[in-house]
Structure 1
């Protein structure tokens, strides 16, 4: 029994360290939509930022990646071109992607020794993707966070909530005849499935995330697929045009040939008529000569 209690206590300590940061203080939570720019604050910065070092972890059990070392940006990282350091030592990230989510720490060094505790930031990235299949479309909205903390833990400890909002600003909690809502707490994904109907043509849907009942960020997505009735009419018209073009292509030589034949026959008929007239005139002249 004592051994089980010991393992439970270790688990709670480990989870607490993940949620609060290595320094033991509460880490800041920043929520941003993919494609936007974000600035992560360094609350323990010293003047001129020459002592500031920014580290990044996607997995807490792996070694941290050094992004900024003593105020100088590292150039051996894949995203170094999107990183910059502000005058207040905050870390700027341009065009945020879902791969940027994770745990960031700002640390100060003076003469090679760490000063104070880390300023910790958890970056959560909201991303929406579309999957179309036939006459239906599925919008998947996912909140990407540090991988070693489950969505259930974030929900319980930080009150994070993910949901869809319709064009009228009404939160979609239940499915109806137009859309279906499905939430997966394992990966912080809320999906919206809808069918290409007249009612949803060019309709906007918005996925939002709240942290302790405050909206932090959202993504608006417009279903731009054509109305099925218009699509079917367009397809029918296209088929008719194709048939007309094909008929014109194949019929043109025949029409030209018929015109040539008719022209030749008309020419022959004109020649015969002209010859008959000349013969009649000549015959008349010959008869008159007898008198």
Structure 2
């Protein structure tokens, strides 16, 4: 039964390919959102009810209907929470993964007089590749890798850029290793290049079919050492602010207490030992004599 279903789907795709197909190629970074355009969208659709999106996976070698006549298909249950159809019938995929690499067919169906009958009139194909940026840490070095994951044969070139120049040209001590659709840059763990790689290091990917060039950067992820340093700095700053506040309060209280004591000293009344007559020295001149 499964074999028959696969043959049926394969024949269906062959028939669909006979219909005019517009092909586009796209590549985006893992974790990003991407919108796959549906070309030649037919008019007079209610919420894209004439649009179906079919996905051919690179791993499973099967096809899956993601969107069936404008609605998310039950076959797409593993990724249904990341899929949606836009107003122009394009397919929005959130938080890309490597598993999303493959061919996406946007099929436009015209509803005949019989509601259950649909005729395929247009089809467009999107070849989606995914860019991965990874870090592999050794004892004293870190390997920064940029790779393109594709459905079939790779048709991309990849290289590292430092301040807009190829890394090998900018830094003679740093040499990249290159393979098909992948480049790796070894960096000393405590080198400035690694500490600021998410800011100054970019991976340039070129689609040789279309000539499209895109730059990708690492998302800044704080390492454990950086986290410890940030936490320690936060604690030091917090303690410093607390000590400063206590000092300010103490000085303020001391100033007020001193002021009150000075005022009390000025207003102090002394008594004559013999006659208990109060003498206020505040109003007595320098030459006054107590009687």
The TM-score with structure 1 as length reference comes to 0.60
SS in 1 for 2:132: strand
Aligned position for 2:25? 29
Residues of 1 paired with 2:66 and 2:58: CA distance?
15
Q: In structure 2, do the counterparts of structure 1 residues 28 and 184 end up closer, same or farther at CA, with 3 Å as the change threshold?
A: same
Is structure 2 residue 185 aligned with structure 1 residue 182? no
* Deviation for aligned residue 1:29: 0.9
In the alignment, the residues of structure 1 paired with residue 35 and residue 148 of structure 2 have an alpha-carbon distance, to the nearest angstrom, of 18
The answer to whether structure 1 residue 108 and structure 2 residue 108 are counterparts is yes
**Hey, what's the Cα distance between the residues in 2 that align with 1:178 and 1:203?**
17
5 Å-filtered alignment, 1:30-45, equals 30-45=26-41
Cross-structure match for 1:98: 98
1:224-263 to 2 correspondences below 5 Å:
none
Normalised to the residue count of structure 2, the TM-score between the two structures is 0.60
Q: CA RMSD in A?
A: 3.0
Rounded Cα–Cα distance in structure 2 between residues aligned with 1:101 and 1:173: 30
Residue 183 of structure 1, CA deviation: 1.4
> Is the 2:22–2:123 contact (alpha carbons within 8 Å) kept by the matching residues of 1?
no
**Structure 2: runs of 5 or more not aligned:** 1-12, 230-291
Matches within 5 A, 1:138-177: 138-146=143-151, 149-151=152-154, 154=155, 160-166=156-162, 168-173=163-168
C-alpha contact 1:33 1:219 (8 A) present in aligned 2: no
3-state SS of 1:220 partner = coil
Residue matched to 1:74: 73
Work out whether residues 201 and 224 of structure 1, in 8 Å CA contact, stay in contact via their aligned partners in 2: no
Which consecutive residues of structure 1, in runs of 5 or more, have no partner in the other structure?
A: 1-16, 155-159, 232-291
Change (3 A) 1:97 1:87: same
How far does the alpha carbon of each residue in 1:154-194 deviate from its partner, in whole angstroms, 9 at most, with x for none?
2xxxxx3211111x221235695543311111xx2111111
1:135 paired residue among 130, 140, 159: 140
Hey, what does 1:62 align to over in structure 2? 61
Kept in 1, the 8 Å contact 2:167–2:175? The answer is no
Aligned counterpart, 1:236? none
